[in-house]
Structure 1
Amino acid sequence: IEIITNLSVDIEGFVRQVKRENVKINPSFHPLFANLDRFVNRILLLKDRKILESVSYLGWPAQVPRFPYYQERFNRFGINLSVQSFFGTHNGLKYPDSYTDEERKIIMPNIGNRGGKPFQTETFTTKGRPCAAGKRYGVIHPDGKVLRCGGINSEDSIVGNLFSENFKLLDKSLPCTSQICPCNEWAFLLEKA
């Protein structure tokens, strides 16, 4: 099981109970919302328990210039911090296509990956391609609702509820309904057409 989280809640109880051979945690650091010292302490707990996979930093344009500072702070503790591309609109510009040359100089040497493929810094179309989202993967919300994918947050992407007695993932891959894959899951979910 791979869990992507912003570590906004206390994790000590979870870390004590989890079987580390079954779980990997991929935290993402959001400096506008997270206390750096508290976040690093939680990362060190995951690292000590050998369930830390990687730590990412969202390449939101307003945060990109601060990345080197945070990278240096994380490196002090032996923690690698990588950049995850921002997909969305900022100041009227669509990203990741609108990163400036200066932003790319910061991002590109530090771009993270998922499924062995680097995060996109230019978009490509995934719509209509067979995708295993919902079959091998799901996004779980706190209320138990499971969505096929993090890039599509609509009623038709709901697979079910994890807390339901008869919950199960989809039996087969379905065509991707998103124009682009903002979370890089395409790297391990898209199938050959």
Structure 2
Amino acid sequence: MTQTKPPWDWEFDWHLTNRCNFFCEYCHPQIRYVLNRKHLDEPTPELVVRRFDELGKVCLVHMSGGEPFMFPGFVELCRGLAGNHFISINTNLASDDVAEFAERVPAGRVAKIVAAIHQPERELRGLELDAYARNYLILRRGGFDVTALYVLYPPLLGRFAADLDRLRELGVDHVRAKVFKGVYEGVRYPEGYTDEQKALVLANSGEYVFNRPYLDGMLSFRGQACTAGVTSFKVTVTGDVRRCASVPTGYGNLYDGTFQPADVNEPCPAKRVLVLSQCLSYLVYPPVRPEQGVDPDDL
């Protein structure tokens, strides 16, 4: 996750489950209204670990969803993948399995954990922020690189400062705020932020360096060659392997063993990219290369 050569050969952005214990208003509509309402039978942890091992490459496996901790046997899956690979996780930490994860999965094989706060959803479900903080601190004290994430959905901008103060009181010491990507009241974001709102976003971004390029409108790299499909890939909930989140070119299926990567870097055909951090890390000639590389909360 740095400019230095990483200890892995390939990266996979894996939407491993549709299951989610939250129903956030600002979740991507395709996930909120389509994917999360159709629970598929997930593969066993043993099958997934075997398929990654069979690739003969050291992989970084970014896991998102849905909520990764709701994948059946998730801790066992992470422990298995950590044997020969590295993982990163985008989670809401609203799971009773966090302590077991911290005990059984080696922190040195976990590149990053991005822990989304989703405070309005917690309040709707009667979930205390203290419980989030306890799980966060279990991971921090266990040596994991974990960062709290606050999505700057327009209706939340007025309460963000107070929420941030409360998190700090609870010991949540690494917080990043991220632009909202989507449509709110007929306005598309991040383009729709006012100048005042943009200043608030940039002042509270923390270590998240991609807010500025999002706000600057860096949303297309059409015609520029990238390594997606060659050394980085998107895996859907059914195991299908695609070039990236923005380009659905297929490369077989990871679960059934038919996955085959492309041989050469191809130009990006997307008119608008969905995951800016991926593009800035995978472009052959990137205009900017932020120091921490791809961010799992973008996945």
TM-score (norm 1): 0.78
Q: In the alignment, which residue of structure 1 is the partner of 2:27?
A: none
Q: How does 1:83-122 map to 2 (within 5 A)?
A: 83-112=177-206, 117-119=209-211, 120-122=214-216
Corresponding residue pairs, total: 188
Residue 148 of structure 2 corresponds to residue 55 of structure 1: yes
Q: How does 1:127-146 map to 2 (within 5 A)?
A: 127-140=222-235, 143-146=238-241
Task: Say if 2:241 and 2:259, in contact at 8 Å, map to a contact too.
Answer: no
RMSD: 2.8
Amino acid at match of 2:225: P
**Greater length-normalized contact order (CA 8 Å, ≥ 6 residues apart):** 2
Question: For the residues of structure 2 that align with 1:180 and 1:60, how far apart are their CA atoms?
Answer: 20
Amino acid at match of 1:131: C
Amino acid at match of 1:6: N
Pair 28,131 (structure 1): closer, same or farther in 2 beyond 3 Å: farther
Residue of structure 2 aligned with 1:42, choices 120, 135, 139: 135
Q: In the alignment, which residue of structure 2 is the partner of 1:79?
A: 173
Question: For the residues of structure 1 that align with 2:261 and 2:139, how far apart are their CA atoms?
Answer: 28
- Gapped runs of 5+ residues in structure 2? 1-86, 287-299
The structure having more radius of gyration, on CA atoms, is: 2
Task: Say if 2:182 and 2:189, in contact at 8 Å, map to a contact too.
Answer: yes
Residue 271 of structure 2 corresponds to residue 176 of structure 1: no
Q: In the alignment, which residue of structure 2 is the partner of 1:18?
A: 105
Pair 99,141 (structure 1): closer, same or farther in 2 beyond 3 Å: same
Question: For the residues of structure 2 that align with 1:32 and 1:130, how far apart are their CA atoms?
Answer: 40
Task: Say if 1:123 and 1:180, in contact at 8 Å, map to a contact too.
Answer: no
Task: Compare 86-95 and 105-114 and name the one that shifted more.
Answer: 105-114
How far 1:49 moved relative to its partner?
A: 1.4
Residue of structure 2 aligned with 1:33, choices 104, 121, 127: 121
Q: Percent identity?
A: 26
How far 1:160 moved relative to its partner?
A: 4.8
Question: For the residues of structure 1 that align with 2:131 and 2:253, how far apart are their CA atoms?
Answer: 31
TM-score (norm 2): 0.54
Question: For the residues of structure 1 that align with 2:240 and 2:154, how far apart are their CA atoms?
Answer: 31
